[in-house]
Amino acid sequence: MTVVTTSRKPLPEVRSLSRDMAFAIGAEYVTRGKTSLGDLFALDPSVVIVSKSGPFFLVQIFLNEEPMVEFGVRSFAVEQRTGEIARGLFVSDRPLFEALKDLLDVAYAGEALPAHRIVFDGTQRKRYVLEVAG
């Protein structure tokens, strides 16, 4: 099972985004605190770290301690979800989908979403819409 965590001292919106992303992909959310990367890799070989880097949010995915994928998120919006919950990340960008498909629970959304978007359903009827840095 993948572990999702944050930077060591995350902003509240980074923590919320991380928790709900873990929920969406069926991963375990781990509060980072002073936990080292080595301790995270001891929990699971697949680790996702969400952080804030300047004007962007940064999502880094590691497998067996090796960085596999990294992408920036310009912004994200949280909407109220109506209807049934959908599990996984829905990605509109084909190259990003190809990079993520063997690492996380993702589906290619194609033309159903505007370009450079990731959409996923979180807890408490939340739906996240992420604008990926192109």
CATH number at residue 39: 3.40.50.10480
Looking at residue 111, what is its pLDDT? 83
**Tally of structural domains, the chain:** 1
Cα 53 to Cα 124: distance, rounded to the nearest angstrom: 27
Q: What does the pLDDT look like over 39-68, one tens digit per residue?
A: 999 999 999 999 998 899 999 999 999 999
Looking at residue 5, what is its pLDDT? 97
Which pTM does this prediction carry? 0.94
For residue 1 the two structure tokens come to 């099972």
Sheet holding 56-63, edge to edge: 28-29, 3-6, 46-53, 56-63, 66-80, 126-132, 117-121, 89-91, 106-108
Domain holding 86, by residue range, is 3-132
Looking at residue 1, what is its pLDDT? 84
Strand 28-29 with 126-132, pairing:
unpaired
